[in-house]
Amino acid sequence: MRGLLHIFLILFPFLVTSQKSQLIQHVTIVDGTGRKEFKGSVRIAGNQIVGIGKLKPYKNEKVIQGIGLTLAPGFIDSHSHHLNDVLEHPDAISTANQGVTTVVVGQDGESVPLITLISQMNKTPVAVNIASYTGQSSLREQVMGSNNLLRAATQAEIDRMKVLLKKDMENGSLGLSTGLEYESAFYSTRDEVLQLAKVAKESNGRYISHIRSEDITMSDALDEIIDIGRKVKLPVQISHIKLAKKGDWGKAQQIIELLEKARKEGIDITADVYPYNFWNSTPRVLFPKRDYTNLESSKFATQELFEPSESYLVKFAANKNYEGKTLSEIAKSRNETEPVALMKLIELSADFRKNNPTYSGTVEAIMGKSMQDEDVCKFIQWKHANICSDGNAGAHPRGYGSFTKILGKYVREEKALTLEEAIYKMTGLTAQHLGIKDRGTIASGMKADLVLFNPKTVKDNASIRDSHALSDGIEMVWVNGELIFKGKKSTGRRSGTLIKRINE
């Protein structure tokens, strides 16, 4: 199909010019396939790329001069929580400022039905593309009730979830997502997940998972996702791969070897990763056994699972004074040890929930410093890992800076990746991991999602202190052929579309 279009465009370029084409001229092109950068120009018309190479402007054609700048496919964020932000702020500055043109939502087991998403996007056009998985926890909530999730589902309930999932797949979902570490899914059995993954597979979908443990039982959790890939024979992806237990630090290479072994066996297992050594979640994940009142478990958490003096409470509805403080500071102010304070915070939040049953915001969130930079870097470098943000427009800087941090820190400063490798991990490889065929590379016939940036200056500025600071060096961003972002500002165009799974 793409080949035919390509021939058509070579034979009848004048037909394209009538579609008001634009030429991005004299740029360095990093095309998203991983191949070496080269100089040239790129022509876009309508929502497509229609030419690439040594191109001269047509008469009266709009020309964008890109001397000294690099043109890449728009970045694809394979694990994003930006949906609410993008719907509330359709200019999508949080993603566009880092060069992201597609966000993939419905992560960690939580999604809105595709049919709802479609009507939301019809009502509110947005500047970036959105694709979504179907979340297992959301299926559980619909079928079992949101207050009844701390148990395994019955077979009858699983059967009802399968029907809902099938419907969502038909509406364009990319596949099944799970957040097995969270209470809403933690008590589901492996068999439940397996049965649902089979439904995703029947529609040529995929499986993406925040695995059941990123710390004390991580090897079981890895075994589970590998087993699903083996038995269901669908592509499986580990969300935001990390080693979040101090005792496991330095073992990234071992994990990669385990995953490579599974790949040799024929299992299509991949991962995404974000470039930070701290996460953002509920403090309850620090109790892998869900025993929130066990002092020994809390001691273990403060010693092994996070660094209390570098971990900030970013949301705490029960006492706003604690927001922005580290757990160590809070413990000190309460005259408690860190383990006691950690348990107390969870208790205070539980009380808050009980007393405010209609409260719909986030009750508590902590940025937990749990990882080691060397492991983060190893995972970023893994051949089968693509870049994600795991972010939203919240307190964690990853929501505004993940992709530009890769280009500034990991490419230019540390040379941990070549520019071509990094772009591939943000575009072409990611599209493969999602089953998106018409985005992720610069070639004739591909959709015109593009980012023009300065490789010498590009960098993230978002930090814990200022998590919404915009990146430097992202000059222009196009989505479906329309310029949505220029000079750190929205252009007001809202050309994002819903990307549906291709059923082939």
Distance CA 215, CA 279 (A): 13
Q: If you ran DSSP here, which 8-state letter would residue 265 be given?
A: T
Question: Which residue among 91, 108, 215, 248 contacts Zn ion (CB under 5 A)?
Answer: 108
Please report how close the Cβ of residue 281 comes to Zn ion at its closest, in angstroms.
7
Distance CA 318, CA 353 (A): 9
* 214 is a site residue for Zn ion (CB under 5 A): no
Both tokens of residue 338?
A: 């860190």
The helix or strand, by DSSP H or E, that contains position 207, with its residue range, turns out to be: strand 206-210
Give the residue ranges of DSSP H helices in 285-394. Answer: 295-300, 327-334, 338-355, 373-381
Question: Which residue among 43, 140, 210, 245 contacts Zn ion (CB under 5 A)?
Answer: 210
Closer residue to Zn ion in complex, CB, 78/497? 78
Closer residue to Zn ion in complex, CB, 210/398? 210
- How far is C-alpha 255 from the chain's CA centre? 21
* 201 is a site residue for Zn ion (CB under 5 A): no
Both tokens of residue 284?
A: 């309850």
Q: What is the CA radius of gyration of the chain?
A: 23
| Number of residues near Zn ion (by CB under 5 A) | 2
Please report how close the Cβ of residue 411 comes to Zn ion at its closest, in angstroms.
25
Stretch that binds Zn ion, among 41-49, 105-113, 296-304, 332-340 (CB under 5 A): 105-113
CA 76, 77, 79, 85 torsion: positive or negative? Answer: negative
Please report how close the Cβ of residue 238 comes to Zn ion at its closest, in angstroms.
10
Stretch that binds Zn ion, among 107-115, 122-130, 347-355, 428-436 (CB under 5 A): 107-115
Both tokens of residue 259?
A: 């995953």
Both tokens of residue 174?
A: 């990319």
The owner of tokens 């990319």 is: 174
Please report how close the Cβ of residue 149 comes to Zn ion at its closest, in angstroms.
17
* 447 is a site residue for Zn ion (CB under 5 A): no
235 within 8 A of 263, measured Cβ to Cβ: no
Closer residue to Zn ion in complex, CB, 281/349? 281
Q: What are phi and psi of 36, to 5 degrees?
A: -55, 145
Please report how close the Cβ of residue 182 comes to Zn ion at its closest, in angstroms.
8
Give me the helix-helix angle, 252-264 and 218-232, nearest 10°. 20
Closer residue to Zn ion in complex, CB, 108/338? 108
Closer residue to Zn ion in complex, CB, 179/229? 179
Stretch that binds Zn ion, among 103-111, 325-333, 364-372, 461-469 (CB under 5 A): 103-111
Please report how close the Cβ of residue 20 comes to Zn ion at its closest, in angstroms.
42
* 248 is a site residue for Zn ion (CB under 5 A): no
Closer residue to Zn ion in complex, CB, 74/288? 288
Mind giving me the DSSP string for 364-400?
EEEEEE---HHHHHHHHHSTTEEE-----SSSSTHHH
Distance CA 309, CA 307 (A): 6
Closer residue to Zn ion in complex, CB, 108/449? 108
* 284 is a site residue for Zn ion (CB under 5 A): no
Closer residue to Zn ion in complex, CB, 77/438? 77
Residues contacting residue 253 through CB under 8 Å, at least 6 positions apart: 378
Both tokens of residue 185?
A: 């899914």
* 82 is a site residue for Zn ion (CB under 5 A): no
Please report how close the Cβ of residue 210 comes to Zn ion at its closest, in angstroms.
3
Which of 252, 366, 259 is closest to 305 using CA atoms? Answer: 366
Distance CA 461, CA 458 (A): 10
Please report how close the Cβ of residue 225 comes to Zn ion at its closest, in angstroms.
13
Closer residue to Zn ion in complex, CB, 278/478? 278
The helix or strand, by DSSP H or E, that contains position 41, with its residue range, turns out to be: strand 38-45
Please report how close the Cβ of residue 459 comes to Zn ion at its closest, in angstroms.
26
Nearest position to Zn ion, beta carbon: 210
* 212 is a site residue for Zn ion (CB under 5 A): no
Which of 409, 426, 478, 459 is closest to 80 using CA atoms? Answer: 426
Please report how close the Cβ of residue 166 comes to Zn ion at its closest, in angstroms.
24
Stretch that binds Zn ion, among 8-16, 27-35, 102-110, 330-338 (CB under 5 A): 102-110
Please report how close the Cβ of residue 81 comes to Zn ion at its closest, in angstroms.
8
Region 349-378 residues binding Zn ion, contact defined as CB under 5 A: none
Which of 186, 228, 183 is closest to 205 using CA atoms? Answer: 228
Closer residue to Zn ion in complex, CB, 242/405? 242
* 81 is a site residue for Zn ion (CB under 5 A): no
105 forms beta bridges with: 132
Closer residue to Zn ion in complex, CB, 140/210? 210
Binding site for Zn ion (CB under 5 A): 108, 210
